Amino acid sequence: MAIQKTEGILLRRQDLRETSIILTFYTRDFGKIKGIVRGIRGPRGQYGGGGLEICAHDEIIFYERKRGDIYTVSQCDLIDFFYPMRASLEKLAYAVYLAELLDSVTSLGDKNEDVFDLMVNSQRFLCGDASARRVARVFEIKLLYLIGLMPSLELCVCCGGKIADSRRFSYVHGGLVCSQCARTERQTVAILPGTAKFMEHVLNSPYDKAARVKVAAAVGKELETILRTFLDYHIERRLKTVHFLKEIEA
């Protein structure tokens, strides 16, 4: 591979030996990539600024190494540090949660420019006065749709029939369950009509409008529980930031 240049959001960083680090970016042009930066740690570290901080929006230059799928990052220039977001512990915690979630549901090399734009837009909204929780819910719903995991909201996820008066949701099958299937499907939970309607509204609305919509407290709480449990079930790993968010919101 020739030398490449692209924009990327830094999702994760890991120390490697004494002076190097491995960075995980979600990029506009190449999807998720990993890159090694040498000589960054220690007294003679070559990089400064905030470009190597989690959630930084960077322009990076990288090239292929002889072995493996980890590239060599030769340059990393900061585009946006999202300073207002970092001034709030809650908003920064949610931004890191979005980064961890995105990292957990994407594979190396799967390019999706809409996913990249979703991550950038979410961090920009966290810099404003939008509710951090609402931004997270909008991000989760739109991300699930973009990666093909969005729960079925129009037809019964079990039989494909129309949803009439059903108020049940299946984490296992991923979606609403009709009243007939709910009689035999044990692993379902009750869901408020407003919760399903909000998810549909988010899917059908531009990001800026969806992130500003206010919902009833009961709907917001139920939506968080349903999405969190659904994600836990399908990505099969517990995100570290979820526990921290619960602590600061207690």
Task: Tell me what pLDDT residue 205 has.
Answer: 93
- Chain position carrying tokens 């529980």: 225
Q: What is the distance of C-alpha 244 from the center of its chain? A: 16
| 148 burial type by CB count under 10 A (0-12 exposed, 13-18 middle, 19+ buried) | exposed
The full 3-state SS of 105-160, as one line of letters, equals HCCECCCCHHHHHHHHHHHHHHCCCCCHHHHHHHHHHHHHHHCCCCCECCECCCCC
Task: Tell me what pLDDT residue 134 has.
Answer: 93
Please tell me the total count of domains within the chain: 2
Q: What's the CATH code of the domain at 30?
A: 2.40.50.140
pTM (predicted TM-score): 0.92
- Does residue 90 share a domain with residue 69? no
- Does residue 141 share a domain with residue 236? yes
Residuewise pLDDT in 10s, the chain (250 residues): 689 999 999 999 998 877 889 999 999 999 999 999 987 755 444 555 678 999 999 999 999 876 678 999 999 999 999 999 999 999 999 999 999 999 999 999 999 999 999 999 999 999 999 999 999 999 999 999 999 999 999 899 999 998 877 689 999 899 999 988 988 887 899 999 899 999 999 999 998 888 888 889 999 999 999 999 999 888 877 889 999 998 888 6
CB-based contact 58:79 (threshold 8 Å): yes
- Segments forming the whole domain that contains residue 7: 1-81
- Does residue 228 share a domain with residue 119? yes
- Does residue 100 share a domain with residue 202? yes
- Does residue 168 share a domain with residue 120? yes
Task: Tell me what pLDDT residue 65 has.
Answer: 72
Strand partners, 141: none
Q: What's the CATH code of the domain at 228?
A: 1.20.1440.120
Instruction: State pLDDT tens for residues 175-193.
Output: 999 988 988 887 899 999 8
Task: Tell me what pLDDT residue 49 has.
Answer: 62
- Does residue 179 share a domain with residue 106? yes
- Does residue 114 share a domain with residue 213? yes
CB-based contact 25:37 (threshold 8 Å): no
